[in-house]
Amino acid sequence: MLEIQVTAHQSLALGVRPVGTAPVPTHLNIPGSVLRGALAAVWIAQYGLPTKVPSDKRREFIALFESDVSYGPLFATGSQVVPLSVLRCKYRTCAAVVDEAFNDAEGAPTCACGPLVPGRGEVEFTKSAARGLVTQSTHLQIDDARGVAEENLLFTRRALTHRDANDAERTFHGRITPGSELPDSAARWLAGARRLRLGARRGTSGAVTYTPRPAVVAPPATGLRIALRLTAPAILTDPSGLLLDLADRQAVRSALDDELAPQLGGARVTAVERVWARRERVGGWHAASRLPKPVELAVSAGSVLLLTFDRPPAPDRLLALTGRGIGLRRNEGFGALETATTAWEQPAEPASTATDQDQAPDPAEAYAWQLFDTGHGPWFVDNLRPYVEELAAHPGARHIGLLERPRLRRLTPNDRETLTTMLLNAPVDVLDRTLGMLNALVRGLAEKESLRP
């Protein structure tokens, strides 16, 4: 199991293709399917299309992206999916929380403000983490094939900002679980840190660093009553392949028992005590062929299945299950889950990121890539130097005159905003290192370049 950290260097537009003139929303987390697609794109850039590489390489691609590697969802620090079994204060004026999955109290739960209400299974951020979360910008839609603007297609896209409330780069966390059949070469490839591009508008947004580490995760608690809490949509079917009817407890018990007993060392599901669920339509794209996959009705993230077992499953088996997930198309990020034996609790506000300062990536590296990605890297090497020297001599002399130069008149609004922030705020030593790194990038860091999608 790999613990994945993704650090965002640019805003992330994790939405769907624009439809009409409605603003395009963004996911508030990185779905496993998006991470998988970005990794597949890097692999293809590195080795070529899987249909055109030698057969051992083709097998590696299939093992990585079309077999039993589970790509779990990534959540930003300070965010999570709140289970649908959780009731909270309707007005959020008090901190009342009741998890119906583990609540033995009689009567309808209330707080002083009124009845408690369930959430909607959405990704939620703590108050401090939610500040400045989403930006909105208007773009001209460009025809991918012809490279020209399509008629009448000015659209508005929402994106996750890449800086959190403390102005640190937003980090996302999750897991990738390599299946048992992953060849060593593929496992090593997956375990290598690299730059990725996530989501839409890849020229101006979506740059992230992918940092995998061997996971050190404590096994979850076990017991006779275990709640499965979905953290991604799941596609659950009965043995004949039909969509599972969640209202039919017997059918759900039987289907889950069939799937879980081999995973949980023979522990049997004896009852489905209760289900809290929503449904949603999910599609997807086939990574290699770039064709749409069939749309299916999935059980939404946040849904909860409360199960009773004939004996407590071994904790390490439960841990393996949380890495594997349940249902179909798990390698596409579906079916990710957590298990619980006790009531959900509202998480505390995350500690200030200042505490892991020494692990923080150098902002100069992100700036260097941003400058490089504008396509004006060499120009910046020559023209940013005088500004940095001027600042070193006169620390108060901040300005953005550089961005007014005719050369940069077609800079995207996103780039312009980021570079304005950099010019007005980055300490001189950071700017100095940025120049050094940009210079190295421009001179061709052959290895790094080959990893870029």
Q: Which positions lie near Zn ion, rule CB under 5 A?
A: 89, 94, 96, 111, 113
State in angstroms the smallest separation of the CB of 344 from Zn ion.
17
Question: Would you say 44 or 89 has its CB closer to Zn ion?
Answer: 89
State in angstroms the smallest separation of the CB of 89 from Zn ion.
3
In eight-state DSSP terms, residue 58 is: H
State in angstroms the smallest separation of the CB of 82 from Zn ion.
16
State in angstroms the smallest separation of the CB of 109 from Zn ion.
11
CA dihedral in degrees (367, 373, 376, 381; nearest 10)? 30
Cα 130 → chain centroid? 16
Cβ neighbors of 417 (< 8 A, separation 6 or more) are none
CA distance 416 to 400: 10
Question: Would you say 53 or 94 has its CB closer to Zn ion?
Answer: 94
CA angle (34 as vertex; 234, 238 as ends), nearest 5: 15
> What burial class does residue 404 get, using C-beta atoms within 10 Å of its C-beta: 0-12 exposed, 13-18 middle, 19+ buried?
exposed
State in angstroms the smallest separation of the CB of 107 from Zn ion.
16
- Please count the residues of the chain: 453
Strand, coil or helix: 180? coil
Question: Would you say 98 or 236 has its CB closer to Zn ion?
Answer: 98
State in angstroms the smallest separation of the CB of 111 from Zn ion.
3
With contact defined as beta carbons under 8 Å apart, do 111 and 94 qualify? yes
Which tokens is 230 given? Answer: 């979905």
State in angstroms the smallest separation of the CB of 65 from Zn ion.
46
Question: Would you say 94 or 445 has its CB closer to Zn ion?
Answer: 94
Question: Would you say 94 or 320 has its CB closer to Zn ion?
Answer: 94
State in angstroms the smallest separation of the CB of 98 from Zn ion.
11
Report the interhelical angle of 377-393 vs 428-442 (nearest 10°). Answer: 160
Strand 225-230 versus strand 97-99 pairing type: unpaired
- The set of long-range contacts for 151-154, using a CB threshold of 8 Å and a minimum separation of 24, is 153/18, 154/21
CA distance 318 to 336: 13
Question: Would you say 100 or 415 has its CB closer to Zn ion?
Answer: 100
CA distance 63 to 293: 19
Question: Would you say 94 or 187 has its CB closer to Zn ion?
Answer: 94
Find where tokens 């999750």 sit: 174
- 3-state SS string over 138-159? EEEEECCCCCCEEEEEEEEEEE
State in angstroms the smallest separation of the CB of 452 from Zn ion.
50
Question: Would you say 111 or 381 has its CB closer to Zn ion?
Answer: 111
Question: Would you say 118 or 203 has its CB closer to Zn ion?
Answer: 118
With contact defined as beta carbons under 8 Å apart, do 220 and 339 qualify? yes
With contact defined as beta carbons under 8 Å apart, do 326 and 259 qualify? yes
